Amino acid sequence: MTSPGSPDDGRRLIRVAVPNKGALSEAASSMLREAGYRQRTDSKELVLLDEENGVEFFYLRPRDIAVYVGEGTLDVGITGRDMLLDSGAPVTEVLPLGFGRSRFRFAAPAGSAYDVRALDGLRVATSYPGLVEAHLAEHGVTARLITLDGAVETAIRLGVADVIADVVETGTTLRQAGLELFGDPLLVSEAVLVRRRDAAVPAGLDQLERRLNGVLIAQNYVIMDYDVADEVLADACAVTPGLEGPTVSPLARDGWKAVRVMVLRREAQRVMDDLWSVGARAILVTDIAACRL
Ligand SMILES: Nc1ncnc2c1ncn2[C@@H]1O[C@H](COP(=O)(O)OP(=O)(O)OP(=O)(O)O)[C@@H](O)[C@H]1O
Ligand SMILES: O=P(O)(O)OC[C@H]1O[C@H](OP(=O)(O)OP(=O)(O)O)[C@H](O)[C@@H]1O
Ligand SMILES: [Mg+2]
């Protein structure tokens, strides 16, 4: 008989927690899909078995994911760094995933010019009490935390709090509530892959990590090909050092080489200008569909 969590051939499945709703949900599933895993097609599905890849996905609230992984019920999960620190669960980051980027900041009514050290005795509304409490303690400040489930920006207008601490991406929500930021960010957050701290590395994590890393590289890098005369080959290679060094091949045209190299996508236009300046020609940029480095 097959026990839960093990397919017929006796391999143990790696159990992965994925956000079921909210800001991380869609991006997490599409990254996993990009990495070759099956994902649910119905947002009501709670569990999905991808037997071919040896993975079982559990769709859970992002806030609960660090708890399940910290308890060892699930092997790994995708959640926000802010949520994982707030939970205090014994989990550790395996890989930052490059989406769900935000800052965790204090804000107060525009013009009130607060300072973190002046929060003693004030009411701070937040959905992340663990994070805020630790930060205030670091600064020797004792404030009264008002813990709310969401829509924290409204708490000041309704007279429940003097300042708030919340997730900020574009700042639109804050501005619309007539608030402005003060103090340094408590945290810079993004979605992260997490596993249980001080526990054995779960079987299958290395494959999951390599696949997700492959997706990140494919998103962030392009392939650049160009032709260059031997005399300026070294100058061109200095512009495009690549990750491990460019591939240089002979061209049918005497005294010229063909070069192939990986370049950061966001720098591609600047790099093409620089290559052109040193004399490179036929500069082509190609997307990477998938990779393992
Ligand atoms: N507008 C945003 N841009 C980028 N990341 C965000 C944004 N809002 C939330 N996040 C991040 O997404 C993660 C989960 O937050 P989310 O808002 O999805 O949870 P929630 O507030 O519990 O759920 P919901 O908003 O659906 O009630 C956190 O790590 C947070 O930093
Ligand atoms: O800086 P912005 O681009 O405006 O984004 C930040 C807002 O997005 C999230 O809200 P969400 O929609 O998740 O509602 P919630 O506050 O109820 O969680 C977060 O809590 C902020 O309110
Ligand atoms: Mg939210």
Task: Answer positive or negative: Cα dihedral of 112, 115, 120, 125.
Answer: positive
Ligand 3: centre distance to CA 48 (Å): 24
Which residue intervals of 72-171 are DSSP H helices?
Answer: 81-87, 129-138
Cβ contact 7:1 at 8 Å: no
pLDDT band for position 233 (50/70/90)? Answer: very high
Ligand 1: centre distance to CA 106 (Å): 16
Is ligand 1 within 6 A of the CB of residue 26?
no
Among 102, 108, 99, 112, CA closest to 126:
108
Two tokens at 101? Answer: 């980027």
Percentage of the chain with pLDDT > 70? 96
Ligand in closest contact with the CA of 152: 2
CA dist 39 and 31 (Å) reads 10
Ligand 3: centre distance to CA 252 (Å): 58
Q: Is the pLDDT of residue 171 over 80?
A: yes
Q: Which helix (H) or strand (E) holds 56?
A: strand 55-60
Ligand 3: centre distance to CA 11 (Å): 37
Is ligand 2 within 6 A of the CB of residue 169?
yes
CA dist 26 and 200 (Å) reads 30
Is ligand 1 within 6 A of the CB of residue 187?
no
Question: In a mutational test of the pocket of ligand 2, which residue from 25, 128, 169, 175 has the highest number of ligand atoms less than 8 Å from its CB?
Answer: 169
Is ligand 2 within 6 A of the CB of residue 176?
no
CA dist 60 and 166 (Å) reads 22
Is ligand 1 within 6 A of the CB of residue 167?
yes
CA dist 14 and 230 (Å) reads 51
Residues 6 or more apart whose CB falls under 8 angstroms from that of 185 comprise 103, 104, 105
pLDDT band for position 8 (50/70/90)? Answer: low
Q: Is the pLDDT of residue 242 over 70?
A: yes
Cβ contact 234:224 at 8 Å: no
Ligand 3: centre distance to CA 24 (Å): 10
pLDDT band for position 9 (50/70/90)? Answer: low
Ligand 2: centre distance to CA 153 (Å): 9
Is ligand 1 within 6 A of the CB of residue 100?
yes
Q: What is the pLDDT of residues 176-193, one digit of tens each?
A: 999 999 999 999 999 999
Residue 8: count other Cβ atoms within 10 Å of its Cβ: 7
Domains of the chain: residue spans and CATH: 14-100+191-203 (3.40.190.10), 102-188 (3.40.190.10), 219-287 (3.30.70.120)
> 135: burial class by Cβ within 10 Å (0-12, 13-18, 19+)?
buried
Specify the range with the lowest mean pLDDT, choosing from 9-18, 240-249, 251-260.
Answer: 9-18
Ligand 1: centre distance to CA 152 (Å): 12
Average of per-residue pLDDT across 37-60: 97
- CA nearest ligand 1 atom 23, residue: 22
Q: Is the pLDDT of residue 2 over 90?
A: no
Average of per-residue pLDDT across 259-268: 98
